[in-house]
Structure 1
């Protein structure tokens, strides 16, 4: 019997798994109603990890990742660490040539200053530092090496585009990176289940993902005493966020991404951010009925 090429086998397995997925019809109706009238394209994937029930709305459509690409970059870097090609405790020397102009913490370093690799990774995830992220992408072997790891993990559409040979057309369309809501949620689930690369690597990545500075969108709709692993992303025409919530009644994961938004503002009432907060609130109340939790009055004044 002739063997299928690996990419056809992965596609076959993906569709086979999708066919066996249990659907949450009630939540699906709620989500379809929530996205009606949105001025742009939106994709959503939700999975209750306790029951296995799934809801998706264009969950396999490709969207820009913006800063969500920093999760695959982290995976690529930790893959190098796992192979003993990099030392997590090693000291790195910052150079002015690494600067990516903006408000980054790392970009304020002086040429020749030293910083631990682990701290650079922390800055990439916790404060979404772009200078740190591009440095990490390079240390991971570049976009090509990260994309190869994503392919090995069965993620067919999650790719780094920027500074990656052969990806210029994709970069023009999607920016720094691209993914689908299903794949980004799957990646976080692999990390949660300790199946990405190895358990120690997964745990290290997960610990980084629960320490997020920018918590004004989806995270703001979940009680601060509930642990959440997450990463958000935003560019003018796109808003996105992926979360894995360690909720009292069972973990759930979701990813929401938009593109071609008409509203390109950077105010808190941006239509994409409003939708993200609304979805997060809906899911918390759905999976944790009776919690009656609400953000404290005045929290809007402390938005990051």
Structure 2
């Protein structure tokens, strides 16, 4: 049943689009996802040939920490317009304390200062939640970030937490939501230098290329190959989006939700699926 669903949904995306389904890769994806205990969404894009493979590419999934790409766009827009400076110093206050997780910034002493650039690094590299909440506020809040996403043509990706009018979405999806296809297109636009301007896009790509959490999709890509990545995880949801600048560049995302396996161990079913997918794609595009 899952095999038929993935293939059918991938074929639907052919209608009215220039991209072409990579049927050989699609068969591999169908086989890989069959039997997963939960819901899987995948979108794989080959920009060189304008080809793709997919599984539930337009279904909404919780972003978990992938929401931080949306926050990055909000902050970068403030930097490019001069409202913020990349190297300006910010002052940490106790109101910014975020108790969940193992954050570095939450251990700061109130009154301590830190560069904006380093807060951005903490949000993206180690997924520091305290840094992320701080930056969401500096970006103008979830409402402004969502309006910015709309202006860029991204209608499915949203920030929910601390965002007026989105409490129902927050209850269902958590901090943010997106689709496998749209998050790949956001990454593709960054890679192409088309988000705001080439300089802003290049800065975002470099920031996304400094990932501490590298034991899932990134573990299947040789260390000498540049990869821009953001991942996110909740008990029943494990997600990742990756741009791989190999001999034949490609971008892919994998999202899962309603997972039966909620263990925080390396052999978690969703993380194992992520590694298998990444290994398959590295070999396929090599």
Q: What TM-score, normalized by structure 2, do the two folds share?
A: 0.94
User: What's the offset of the Cα at 1:87?
Assistant: 1.3
Structure 1's unaligned 5+ residue stretches are: 1-14, 289-304
Give the match for residue 302 of structure 1.
none
In the alignment, the residues of structure 1 paired with residue 265 and residue 158 of structure 2 have an alpha-carbon distance, to the nearest angstrom, of 29
Give, in whole Å, the separation in 1 of the partners of 2:256 and 2:169.
Answer: 17
Q: Hey, what's the Cα distance between the residues in 1 that align with 2:252 and 2:15?
A: 18
- Looking at structure 2, the residues matched to 154 and 278 of structure 1 have their Cα atoms a distance apart, in angstroms, of 32
Alignment of 1:168-247 (within 5 A): 168-247=167-246
User: What residue ranges of structure 2 are gaps of 5+ in the alignment?
Assistant: 1-12
Aligned residue number for residue 255 of structure 2: 257
Q: Deviations over 1:71-108 (max 9, x none)?
A: 11001111011111111111000011101113111111
Which residue, 257, 261, 269 being the options, matches 2:267?
269
User: Alpha-carbon deviation of 1:176?
Assistant: 0.4
What's the CA shift for 1:18?
5.1
CA RMSD of aligned residues (A): 1.1
**More off after superposition, 75-84 vs 224-233:** 75-84
Match of 2:133 in 1: 134
Q: CA deviation at 1:20?
A: 2.3
Partner of 2:89: 91
TM superposition score normalised by structure 1: 0.88
- Which residue number in structure 2 is paired with residue 283 of structure 1? 281
How far residue 266 of structure 1 moved from its aligned partner, in angstroms, is 0.4
Partner of 1:50: 48
* Contact 2:221/2:278, CA 8 A, preserved across alignment: yes
Contact residue 183 and residue 241 of structure 2 kept, 8 A: yes
Q: Number of residue pairs matched?
A: 273
Establish whether residue 73 from structure 1 lines up as the match of residue 71 from structure 2: yes
The separation in 2 between residues aligned to 1:278 and 1:138, in whole angstroms, is: 37
What residue in structure 2 maps to residue 301 of structure 1?
none
| CA–CA distance in structure 2, aligned partners of residues 16 and 144 of structure 1 | 33
- Asked if 1 retains the 8 angstrom alpha-carbon contact of 2:14 and 2:21, the reply is no
Deviation at 1:28, TM superposition (A): 0.1
Aligned partners of 2:14 and 2:20 also within 8 Å:
no
